Amino acid sequence: MEVRISIKLFEITLEKYPFTIIYSIEQELNLLVIISIYHHSRNPKYKYKAKKLK
């Protein structure tokens, strides 16, 4: 069974470094959650896919 959760994601691109940080904000917990740090030289289709932890 696959469960999908709808999360509003935001991006910020660093000016000095070739990275984009993808994050979400949990208002109830007053928390910022970093989803991914993406390097610009990588394939953009993997930008929002998280690696599975072992």
22-29 own/partner pairs: CB under 8 Å, 24+ apart: 22/47, 22/48
Residue 22: alpha-carbon gap to chain centroid: 3
β-sheet with 31-39: strand ranges across: 10-13, 19-26, 31-39
pLDDT of residue 6: 66
Asked if the structure places residue 20 within a domain, the reply is: yes
Question: 24: which strand partners?
Answer: 33
Asked if the structure places residue 32 within a domain, the reply is: yes
Asked if the structure places residue 3 within a domain, the reply is: no
For residue 37, give its domain range.
10-46
Domain count, the chain: 1
Side-chain half-sphere CA neighbours of 7 within 13 A: 17
Asked if the structure places residue 36 within a domain, the reply is: yes
- Average pLDDT of adjacent 10-residue blocks, the chain of 54 residues: 70 91 88 87 70 57
pLDDT of residue 43: 73
pLDDT of residue 16: 93
Asked if the structure places residue 52 within a domain, the reply is: no
